[in-house]
């Protein structure tokens, strides 16, 4: 069973090429936003997936379209690569401490998109990345991937640390949820 996906998305605002391998591989990210590249690299590393993303976006406007559209593509790729979700653990969760910040992610590949995001960002900008874009990215992944996602920062005073903890815990939760542990769909309904 091949658990891979390739997504291409071309709009007037962004051009994105994304390849995903849930069973591992290299992580190579180029979005034009250094901090976002760092976060996506951390996500791929901690999820233990192969992830290649190349984005050309309208950064002369701001980073919003680049970040949101990348989330759309990642969500679509996760959904495609998981197929009918037969055999996966389905649920995943992880706490990540990042210096003074403590973050948490819980998720379910339920095919029912829902986001609860509770993480205030003390600083508006992290390099050229607007910290309010983290929730936009997660929302785009959730809506296009059919994922129920809860994320929380319990405390923290540095937006860099909070955001990095959220991306790392997201990766670790995905890693657990996509593990193959049988051949059945993990649902009392028999389908997700």
Domain that includes residue 102, residue range = 4-177
Which comes out higher in pLDDT, residue 187 or 148? 148
Distance CA 134, CA 120 (A): 11
> Which residue from 129, 113, 112 is spatially nearest to 164, judged by alpha carbons?
129
Structural domain includes residue 79: yes
Inside any domain, residue 140: yes
- Enter the tokens of residue 191: 């389908």
Tally of domains in the chain: 1
Looking at residue 121, its pLDDT comes to 98
Closest CA to 130 of 158, 159, 104, 103: 159
**Residue 116's Cα: distance from chain center in Å?**
14
186 confidence band (pLDDT: 50, 70, 90): confident
Summarize pLDDT for 120-153 with one digit per residue, the tens: 999 999 999 999 999 999 999 999 999 999 999 9
For residue 162, give the 3-state DSSP assignment: helix
CATH number at residue 169: 3.30.230.40
In a domain, 183, yes or no: no
In this predicted structure, the answer to whether residue 1 has a pLDDT above a threshold of 80 is no
Q: Give yes or no for residue 154 having a pLDDT over 80.
A: yes
pLDDT in tens, 69-85: 999 999 999 999 999 99
List the structure tokens of 40: 């996506």
Mean pLDDT of the chain: 97
Structural domain includes residue 182: no
Task: Convert the pLDDT of each residue in 17-52 to its tens digit.
Answer: 999 999 999 999 999 999 999 999 999 999 999 999
Give the separation between CA 114 and CA 167, rounded to whole angstroms.
17
Q: What is the C-alpha to C-alpha distance for residues 125 and 35, in angstroms, rounded to an integer?
A: 10
pLDDT band at 166 (very low <50, low <70, confident <90, very high): very high
Task: Find the distance separating the first CA and the last CA of the chain, reported in whole Å.
Answer: 18
Cα–Cα distance between 74 and 87 in angstroms, integer? 21
Q: What is the rounded CA–CA span in Å between residue 135 and residue 98?
A: 18
């Amino acid at each position: 069973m091949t658990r891979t996906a390739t997504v291409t998305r071309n709009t007037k605002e962004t051009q994105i090429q994304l390849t995903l391998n849930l069973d591992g591989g290299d992580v190579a990210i180029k979005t034009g936003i250094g901090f976002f590249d760092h976060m996506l690299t951390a996500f791929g590393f901690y999820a233990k997936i192969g992830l290649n993303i190349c984005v050309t976006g309208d950064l002369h406007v701001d980073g919003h379209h680049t970040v949101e559209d990348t989330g759309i593509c990642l969500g679509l790729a996760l959904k495609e690569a998981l197929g009918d979700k037969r055999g996966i653990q389905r649920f995943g969760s992880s706490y990540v401490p990042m210096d003074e910040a403590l973050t948490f992610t819980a998720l379910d590949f339920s095919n029912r998109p829902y986001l609860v995001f509770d993480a205030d960002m003390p600083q508006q900008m992290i390099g050229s990345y607007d910290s309010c874009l983290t929730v936009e990215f997660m929302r785009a992944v959730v809506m296009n991937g059919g994922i129920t996602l809860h994320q929380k920062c319990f405390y923290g005073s540095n937006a860099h640390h909070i955001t990095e903890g959220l991306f790392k815990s997201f990766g670790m939760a995905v890693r657990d949820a996509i593990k193959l542990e049988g051949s059945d769909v993990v649902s009392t309904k028999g389908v997700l």
